[in-house]
Structure 1
Amino acid sequence: MVKFSKEILERLLLDSNKIRNISIIAHVDHGKSTLTDQLALAAGLVDEDAAGEKRVCDVDKNEIEKGITIKSTSLSMVLENPDKENDHHLVNLIDCPGHIDFSSEVSTALRITDGAVLIVDAAEGCRGQTETVIRQSLQERIRPVLFINKVDRLIEEMQFTEEESYQNFLRIIESVNALLSTYSDESVSVDPVDCNIAFGSGKMGWAFTLEQFAQLYSKKFKLPVEKVINKLWGENYYDHSTKKFTTEPYSSTSGQQLKHTFCEFILEPIFKIFKLVREHEISSEGILSTDLENIISALSIPLTKEEKRKEPKLLAKSIMRKFLPAHKPLVQMIINHLPSPKEAQKVRYDSLYTGEDLTDPYATGIKECDPNAPLVVYVSKMVPMHSNTSSSMSNNVGRFIALARIFSGSLTQSTKVRILGPNYDPIAKKDVFHTSIQRLLVMIGKNTESITQASCGAIVGIVGLDKYIIKSCTLTEEGQVACMPIKNMKYSVSPVVQMGVEPVNPADLSRFVEGLKRLVQSDPLLECKQNDSGQHILGTAGELHLEICLKNLEEEYARGIQIKKSPPVVTFHETVSNKNGDMVMARSANGHNRLYMQAEPISEELIEMIKEGQLPMDDQNKRAKILEIDFEWDPSITKRIWSFGPEADKGSNILVNATKSVDYINEIQQYVVTSFQQSSSSGGLCDEAMRGVLFKFNDCNLHADSIHRGAGQILQATSRVMTASQLRADPKLVEPMYLVEVQCPQSVMGSVYSVISNRRGVIKSTEMVIGTPLVSITGNLPVLESFGLTEELRGVTQGQAFPQCSFSHWKVMEDNVYDPQSKVHKLIKSIRKRKGLKEDIPLYTDYCDTMPKQ
């Protein structure tokens, strides 16, 4: 166990080979925080009795109250390699949330780490969020190791046999490897024989890989440890009559069925300890049963009299913790199987750096993890300063620490830096700032430690950037103007749940706005915009995310201000469905210019390509070829795309110039594009952003005198003709859909079906959870219908069902928007009313000047 040593820490900060940057990822309640405690125990940050209970990374009061992780928290620790004496490593660990609403926090952690410890509950197996975090990690090219947690549940709660437990482990490992192969182009897998899988219980503080038992049995079988490891997994058996390992399940002499070696030599001793402890009667003299005394003596487990007097559950914990201490296999896996920054950046650099030249000094510095190369630092999130963050900072309220990864070069206090924001434009010199680093910190949960310098590979906290950064950015050294930023992060969730907020007392408005700015800065995903009535709209990932954000606003960032809140609402999109929409025309205000436009739907496959960045934006020829061959676009327009929009939504709508031989067309192009960006972010049905609409600018008659075809005339006419073309092409509303997963006993399945069906949900599948009396029900549910789902399910099932909702896809509502009896018509009218628009849904004739051409 290594006690915190600042001297060792500062030395390791300059040696990237001795650094491991890891994320702890899992489905909600699979045991990330309790396992993190075991590593904190190894680092001397918590004592033995507190490990597994303290949750050292739960620093937010909401986390403590709700018992779940909400914010990703960085914990830097000096750990000693169990295989080598005085071989210290700096492990920068980030404990990530498991709830889908906070998966943006997982994205910020994975961006600045190189490896991940994936945790799966032995009883529950892979769940919905397990798949999500695997996908997120592989997108960032993060190498995983696996920890199968809560093995004690199989023994005590579910009463599995050794063979049933082994088969359960096989299923979990198979599921994880199937997900790894699905989301990775490379050969990524986990295997107990490679010792990149550990089994155990984070809460009880015990764990093992095959290596621990191979070392125990190496002398007995007179075989090297490596050979014993191979014999302890898979279809391997030990025939006691011949005293040899075999791959045949039956004895060659007696014909008796043999046990898997994993069951016989690993699970059997563990199960026997639990059985003997369960049967043990507590003795005030600290006397154990003969069988129990014999087994702990055979395993050389030292127990004090006080420990022998403990109740069975605590006695089992003491025995197992001394027999198989959890931190040892964990530290071994992290050091031996997860990459150092020097290894990882060779694989990741081309997916991180946005510069076209991957041989420039900045890209090369990232690739080689060179401390002497030009400085490149990525800030992934802003962390609120706690009151005890630093004794020398007397007033931390509203201040933030930038959590950053140094990818190239070295950083010291007072370094002058150039800040490249997420919207950095090297030509327009947009979103760029200059300042100096005030302080460098190492993050240790809620606490920090000041340092003087750190080099590439390190994860540090930076003080002094919060005036310039909202959420994330890239830092370079002053004067390094050729450096391009690190790629912006992609989140697996969208801010689809909204709520309007405003101060009750208008005199509090300026303080309230300042509080909102700090709230937005504290959360990677949270969005805030102002509507036409002046109300501020918060955009969150889900109901729980919204609840936490509001609580933080009321209790911290806008404390003392009475807040008026609107009911929660959902973000919708608008689209069109008529593939042969008629062309419409609109005149400019002066009557001298006519613009002709047509709207058509874009296929869902193309929308996804655009959203995922798979459609080449910089290579016109390559893009045109894809559109012609894969999506059967007319070759006359594939090379005449003017714009993708809206820019804020990764542009799932397209504007093309389909005109032929029109005079002055180039002079109005910028006006048309500007109007397209505005129109695509505010559709004609209910002022929601459009999704998947192709606007064909078919023709225009322009006045010969440039004075009569200026911005004032063209912008308004374009806006009108675009809205008219959308409303003419059979407009539709698009709603967000959740993938909902519910685990419950079979006896309450009918109640769960009824609740989901009554909320316009559709059941996709129902499967038995192997080894349990539970079923797993999955389906799709409109986000609009999800409010109060948890409470209703708990009520009708007496608390036996708990849903997990994650954003799945966007679905077109097929009803006619102009039918007064349809749900979508009523919904659009309610949205228009909420936004202060006229309640009646407009017709295309309200915006165009003539009937469409036939």
Structure 2
Amino acid sequence: MPVVNPEKLVALQRNPDGIRNICILAHVDHGKTSLSDALIATNGIISPKLAGKIRYLDSRPDEQTRGITMESSAISLFFSMLRRSAPGATPEEKEYLINLIDSPGHIDFSSEVSTASRLCDGAVVLVDAVEGVCSQTVTVLRQTWVEHMKPLLVINKMDRLITELKMTPGEAYIHLSKLLEQVNAVLGSFFQGERMEEDLNWRERVDERIAAAAAKELEKSEKDVVGNSVDIDTMSANPEFEEKDDEDLYFAPEKNNVIFSSAIDGWAFTVRQFASLYEKKLGIKRTAMEKVLWGDFYLDPKTKKVLAQKHLKGRNLKPMFVQLVLEQIWAVYSATTGGDKGKGDPAMTEKITKSLNLTLPPHVVRSRDPRAILTALFSAWLPLSTALLVSVIESLPSPPIAQESRLPGLIDASPGHTHVDPKVRDAMVKSKSSKDDPVVAYVSKMVSIPESELPENKRRGGTLSPEEAREMGRRKRAEIARAQALENGTAEDPVNGLTEAIEDASLEEKKPQDEAQPKEHLIGFARIYSGTLSVGDSVYVMPPKFSPAYPHNSPEPQKVTVTALYLLMGRGLEPLTSVPAGVVFGIGGLEGHILKSGTICSQLIGSVNLAGVSMGSAPIVRVALEPVNPADIDKMISGLKLLVQSDPCAEYEQFSSGEHVLLTAGELHLERCLTDLRERFAKCEVQAGEPIVPYRETIVRAEEMKPPANKELGRGTVIAVTTSKQVAIRLRVRPLPAEVTEFLSKNFNAIKRLYSEHQAEKKGKQTEDQDGSDQEDVDEDGVVDHTKILSLAEFKKQLQATFESVKGQRDVWANVVDQISAFGPRRTGPNLLIDATKEGICGRFLNDNTTSSETPEQNTSSALSPASFSDKIAHAFQLSTLQGPLCAEPMQGVAIFLESVLVTPSPSEEESSLGRLTGEVIKAVQGGIKQGFLDWSPRILLAMYSCEIQASTEVLGRVYDVLTRRRGTILSESLLEGSSAFTILSLLPVAESFGFSDEIRKRTSGAASPQLIWRGYEILHEDPYWVPRTEEEMEDLGEFADKENVAKRYVDGVRRRKGMLVTGRGERREEPPTNTLTSTRPSFSDNYFGKFTSTFPPLLSCPLLISPSLTPRSLAFNSQFPTPSVPFNSIQFDLLTSVFRPQHQLTIELPRPTIARMSLFKPTQSQQNLLPMHSLSRTTSQEKSKEEPVVVASTAEVVPEKKRRYSKTIEYLIVITAIIILCTIIAVISIEVKGHGQKLKDSNSGGVYVNPEVHA
């Protein structure tokens, strides 16, 4: 077939009834791209012989190398077929436009699947005939359900049942029946879950109406009980809930929504095709034949009648699908490739071709390649493209039909849907394409296209203009002359070389923005729902959080001009002048206006926001990036911004430490992003650090815990006193029940919405979309969460029920819900600040009448009260839960009770200033929370993947070996029916997952490939500070526990990465030391000093001399040491080095004994050359005459005095023992030598002498 002219495709866009927007969805390696190749070959874009091999839509080099799709890509195809307008009418040729989108199957790129599905009306879902339903198959089926797309099932790789599993047609039929049941079971679970939710909502509405009616009747007449009951009965009997039928939901071959195919061999069929084939032979109508060709129906060979299973009467007949369909397919394979025998039968092949009235080319018949004969025969008999495209046209809806059923639900789920203009709504639902109708389009993602590949920059035919040809020739001649000069040695003249360099150099100064200007352009991947969009039109770009109720709220929609429109053709683009409703297209001019996704509308007032897409996986893997050449930092930042815009799932953050961090969905996604960053966007060498894995910190009630720090107060109870002794705050830290923590984590968006409403009420503004408490929550990137958002009453009710369901300690959690003051960290996390004071100092977050953390009127001249510190305590709670004491990771599952706040007024008005006490209160509360946290048994929570692996029995042991070494937990294993392959489900820590896929493939020689899906956080039941305590533990494990503490290894790794101080080997001191610079407990949670230690170790290894220099610009940091009875001394670090150009001064508070016992570390010669000596001084005015110069080394822990004496004693004992042993050896050797000399003397004299001492 010749290549279809793009003008013909453009003309077909004007007929919306002839358009089909479809996407191909499947698990990885189930044959999506091979199927796409077969469809593309029908338009002559690639050769049919290369279908399944060239992978046309995989345009990236890494996609071709790995053999998997990483980016969704679209192509428009032409297809024509004969159709009857009515039964019995003459068939007429009709032309169709198929907008095909191929999507990835790997879990790391599930965001690409989400963006593709939003633009389509139907989905072709592929399932491997051998592997069956896999993890990603369930994901894509859920995607079709959420997006309300009509699916079409393709059971691919049918040839594997013949060539690999060696199944008979009867066995294959049973296998296919069970596979179909698995797919339908997945759809049934979606339907059942939705119906249960609708039923629950309906019952809640009925109860509310009954309660409202009862209250109304009681107000009218308290005595009229009869009338009240009648109204209640009438309300409850209202038949509001309608049952839905799921008959049309499932896949069934008799409905022609199931296709059996082998994309690699180029064949596919539906039941309808074989029904048409046997219609004349058996004399049965095609419509009747379609209903009985699949299922438990049998053909009587004598009477030619169809029998049901109950009429068999013991006869051993084959099902019609086996007898009439599968046996014919098996016969073709047996005749061409030989089947089990391995040899083809030319005579049988000729007989088959004659019976089917097929004509094969002579060169194919004479070919010795059996696969060439096989593909040629099937292509002539059951071509894949015909079966698939005919099913797409007949089973999947056109844009007008699809939008009429899909868009009402999509619009109702959008923010502020009640304020959408009815004209806009009507145009979208009815797919109006007139120029006067409002234009509404949705951009699902931004695609980066090299500037050279844009249609306006391409030359037709590849010809050059005369000027360009002359310029290119001149450059070539100059390069050849320069190369010859280098060979002849003429370029060694320095004068000539300098002259050439000056001529080549530009005297104009290069601007940084010119150097960093990208050669990539961002094109919007869009679908238009109404109106007609043309080049040059001005449209509004709606941000993800736009609401038509408040159209001018910040950020206000921007008006942009459409600069270009494109027809998407896989690896290329074709220019368009306009696009009507129902078309998938590319749009230019949105660069810098849309980050990831957005809505385009021709009007601002009454427009609609189609919100965002539902991402399959959140970015969990983070890496810090830096350019190899520091001068390329601007290029890297610009490249990162382009990468984030062009990738739906990638995110970019800049930490407070200055690190540039890239967030990706997985290891494979990270590799692709780094490749794009280096080669396309930044165009400079970028090096990535070790992956940054998130952790969580929590506390548990363990069987064996150390005694509480204060037995009188109880475990977890702390009295935090400020430095000035004016404020004393009593806190109690407790672990939250696991059920409550899980509930808070699941309802993250509900807490976020409630906090926004509280803030709006506090500011006196109307809360946006009060009536849409159950709407979806959209973030800044346009990502939407489809989980239902609870209202305040529902959230409070369910949280109270969760607390009541906790077994044990009900008295502790009684009435806690009414006392909740804040959630943390970031005001939405799974930690609670509970105000247990009688006055309610910090407010009640979940009470309707009060708001949380209301700042009282502050007057520094008035007397201080506990309420004056409410916002300070809440702020300290947020800081503490954001950075826990173990490794500065967020806390989870911790409840902090505020029991009392005692304020002691100072006689001096200046000393009682609220401004000065603010920092002291925050510092004291932070220290108290961390001390109470460490009073329990601390734990870390690991980020976990759910790992699914399919492996044969031969490599099963190797898979288990790799999983065990990487601390994986096996959940289940199941044998795939009809094969020797096992499906293994396990949990794998994200920290151990890097390189896991490559190791599995290497150990199994490619026979096993894992799929890693984000699961959540799982607690690691191991105390990172555990050390042997009992005598038995000491005997078994030694003093320092020879057994590796895995939790401590993870904690130390995070602390080293963050530049925090790391303690010794498994050592944990019961009491905080006062004579060391660092504590065994974590200190300097996230301060400049910790980062400074990691970044500049030579500087801190240098001795620092004492000199008093205290300035107001000093930076004060907390030291985590307990407050002693004596006041603290201040140490002032004066860093006047070339490394820090501005003067930086660090103030650290330490106990007096710490300063007196600091050890001296002499720097190396290289360190002395690098950095100068610095001075340090105690600035305490008291005892200045007693001050002594001390020298500090901050890169190593200072050894205590007692331990140093003990180690010296051991060294002396070792030396003395060695001397004694040496002397003994020398004495024994001398005796032996003396005895041997005496023997020689006696033998010479002929006598025998026996030394009695030696004999004894």
Fold shared by both chains (TM-score > 0.5):
yes
Worse overlay, 541-550 or 840-849: 840-849
Retained in 1: the 8 A contact 2:417–2:608?
no
Structure 1 counterpart of 2:945: 738
Is residue 2:759 matched to residue 1:752? no
Encode CA deviations 1:409-444: one digit per residue, 9 max, x unaligned.
Answer: 442222323323335585751374332221111211
- Quickly say closer, same or farther: Cα 1:81–1:405, change in 2 above 3 A: same
Q: Is the 8 A contact 1:515 1:553 kept in 2?
A: yes
Larger % of helix: which? 2
Deviations 1:90-111 (A, max 9, x none): 3222211111121121122122
User: Could you tell me whether the CA contact under 8 Å between 1:590 and 1:708 is conserved in 2?
Assistant: no
Q: Distance in 2 between matches of 1:87 and 1:834?
A: 65
What's the counterpart of residue 855 of structure 2? 667
Match of 1:488 in 2: 612
For residues 12 and 59 of structure 1, the distance between their equivalents in structure 2, rounded to whole angstroms, comes to 26
The residue matched to 1:392 in structure 2 has which SS? Answer: helix
Aligned length: 840
- Indicate conservation of the 8 Å contact 1:123/1:153, yes or no: yes
1:733 aligned counterpart, secondary structure: strand
Q: What is the distance in 2 between the residues matched to 1:676 and 1:393?
A: 57
Question: 2 CA distance for matches of 1:697 and 1:412?
Answer: 62
From 600, 607, 617, give the equivalent of 2:745: 607
Partner-residue secondary structure (3-state), 2:999? helix
- Contact 2:526/2:585, CA 8 A, preserved across alignment: yes
Deviation for aligned residue 1:458: 2.3
Pair 1:335 & 2:381 matched: no
State whether residues 741 and 892 of structure 2, in contact with CA within 8 Å, keep that contact through their aligned partners in structure 1.
Answer: no
Q: CA deviation at 1:229?
A: 0.6
Instruction: Establish whether residue 842 from structure 1 lines up as the match of residue 1082 from structure 2.
Output: yes
Is structure 2 residue 903 aligned with structure 1 residue 708? no
Give the Cα–Cα distance (whole angstroms) in 1 for the partners of residues 836 and 437 of structure 2.
49
The 8 Å contact of residues 250 and 256 in structure 1, kept in 2 or not, is answered as no
AA at the equivalent of 1:522? S
Shift, 1:382, TM fit: 1.4
> CA offsets, 1:718-775, max 9 Å, x none?
7666666655665432212222222333233222222212221122222222222322
- TM-aligned CA deviation for residue 495 of structure 1: 2.3
Residue of structure 1 in register with 2:284 after alignment: 223
How far apart in 1 are the matches of 2:1059 and 2:679? 30
Q: Give the equivalent residue in structure 1 for 2:373.
A: 315
Instruction: Tell me how far 1:823 sits from its aligned partner.
Output: 1.5
> 1:400 maps to which residue?
522
Give 1:106's aligned residue. 113
**Which of 118, 130, 147 in structure 2 is aligned with 1:123?**
130
| CA distance 1:215–1:657, shift in 2 (3 Å) | farther
SS in 2 for 1:763: strand
Change (3 A) 1:3 1:832: same
Question: Larger relative contact order (C-alpha < 8 A, sep ≥ 6)?
Answer: 1
CA distance in 1, matches of 2:533, 2:700: 54
Q: Which segment drifts farther, 26-35 or 575-584?
A: 575-584
Instruction: Give the counterpart of 2:591 among 466, 473, 483.
Output: 466
Q: CA deviation at 1:251?
A: 5.4
Offset of residue 506 of structure 1:
1.4
CA distance in 1, matches of 2:355, 2:918: 90
Deviation, structure 1 residue 41: 2.5
- 1:87 offset after TM fit, Å? 2.7
CA distance in 1, matches of 2:996, 2:283: 60
User: Distance between the aligned counterparts of 1:790 and 1:801, measured in 2?
Assistant: 9
Change in Cα spacing, 1:801 to 1:482, as seen in structure 2 (3 Å) is: same
Say yes or no: does 1:448 pair with 2:573.
yes
Distance 1:376 1:31, change over 3 A: same
d(CA) in 2 for partners of 1:215, 1:12: 30
1:506 and 2:630 matched: yes
Structure 1 stretch 841-850 or stretch 504-513: which is displaced more? 841-850
1:74–1:638 Cα change, 3 Å: farther
Secondary structure of residue in 1 paired with 2:417? coil
**In structure 1, how many angstroms separate the alpha carbons of the residues matched to 2:1007 and 2:356?**
41
- Given candidates 403, 419, 422, the residue that maps to 2:544 is 422
Equivalent residue for 1:360, pick from 420, 424, 429: 420
**Mapped partners of 1:632, 1:165: distance in 2:** 53
Letter in 2 for 1:320: F
Go from structure 1 to structure 2 and tell me whether the alpha carbon gap of 1:2 and 1:236 turns closer, same or farther (over 3 Å shift).
farther
Structure 1 SS opposite 2:254: helix
Q: If you compute each CA radius of gyration, which structure gives the higher value, 1 or 2?
A: 2
Asked whether 1:273 is paired with 2:332, we answer: yes
Distance 1:515 1:484 in 2: 32
Q: Matched residues in 2 for 1:444 and 1:652: separation?
A: 48
Aligned to 1:283: none
Q: Are 2:23 and 2:123, in contact at CA under 8 Å, matched by a contact in 1?
A: yes
Q: 1:523 to 1:615 in 2, by over 3 A?
A: closer
- Within the candidate set 622, 631, 644, 2:794 is matched to 622
Q: Is the 8 A contact 1:382 1:400 kept in 2?
A: yes
- Per the TM alignment, residue 782 of structure 1 is displaced from its structure 2 partner at its CA by 1.4
Indicate yes or no: 2:529 matched with 1:306. Answer: no
Q: Which amino acid aligns with 1:382?
A: M
Name which of structure 1's ranges 421-430 and 319-328 shifts more when overlaid on structure 2.
421-430
Which secondary structure state, in structure 2, belongs to the residue aligned with residue 399 of structure 1? Answer: strand
Distance 2:900 2:432 in 1: 56
Alignment of 1:197-212 (within 5 A): 197-212=258-273
57-66 or 287-296, larger mean C-alpha shift = 287-296
Q: Distance in 1 between matches of 2:265 and 2:648?
A: 33
Tell me, yes or no, if structure 1 residue 292 matches structure 2 residue 532.
Answer: no
Shift of 1:847: 6.8
TM-score w.r.t. structure 1 length? 0.89
Computed over aligned residues only, the root mean square deviation of the Cα atoms, in angstroms, reads 3.7
Give, as a single letter, the amino acid of the residue that structure 2 aligns with 1:258: L
Q: Label 1:686 to 1:405 Cα distance change in 2 as closer, same or farther (>3 A).
A: farther
Deviations 1:212-267 (A, max 9, x none): 11111122233322210111001011011221100138856xx5411110011111
* Residues 222 and 690 of structure 1, relative CA distance in 2, 3 Å threshold: farther
Q: Distance in 2 between matches of 1:172 and 1:834?
A: 48
Match of 1:384, SS state, is: strand
Distance 1:153 1:631 in 2: 54
Decide whether aligned partners of structure 1 residues 416 and 465 sit closer, same or farther in structure 2, where only a CA change above 3 A counts.
same
C-alpha deviation, 1:118, in angstroms: 0.9
Equivalent position of 2:1021 in the other structure: 814
2:13 aligned partner: 13
Deviation at 1:573, TM superposition (A): 2.7
1:768-790: per-residue Cα shift (whole Å, max 9, x none)? 22222322222222122222323
Deviates more, 1:701-710 or 1:550-559: 701-710
- The 1:347/1:768 distance shift into structure 2, 3 A limit, reads same
Cα distance in 1, alignment partners of residues 891 and 607 from structure 2: 35
The residue type paired with residue 626 of structure 1 is Q
Tell me by how many angstroms 1:677 deviates.
Answer: 6.1
Using the TM superposition, give the Cα deviation of residue 171 of structure 1 relative to its aligned residue in structure 2, in angstroms.
Answer: 1.6
CA distance in 1, matches of 2:796, 2:1058: 39
Cα deviation code 1:315-354 (max 9, x no counterpart): 1001001101111221122222223333434335434642
Distance in 1 between residues matched to 2:902 and 2:100, nearest whole Å: 63
Change (3 A) 1:53 1:483: same
Provide the rounded CA distance (Å) in 2 between the counterparts of 1:569 and 1:686: 13
Q: 1:142-291 counterparts in 2 under 5 A?
A: 142-184=149-191, 185=194, 187=246, 188-248=249-309, 256-279=315-338, 289-291=346-348
Where does the alignment leave 5 or more consecutive residues of structure 1 unmatched? 281-286
Q: Give the aligned residue type for 2:295.
A: G
Judging by fraction of residues, say which structure has more strand: 1
CA drift at 1:391? 3.1
CA distance in 2, matches of 1:357, 1:114: 22
- Shifted more, 695-704 versus 448-457: the winner is 695-704
TM-superposed CA distance for 1:619, in Å, is 2.4
Q: CA-to-partner distance for each residue in 1:279-310, whole Å, 9 max, x for gaps?
A: 49xxxxxx983332221121122211122123
8 Å contact 2:419–2:606 — kept in the other structure?
Answer: no
**Per-residue CA distance 1:446-489 (angstroms, 9 max, x = gap):** 11122222244322211111222222222233x51454532333
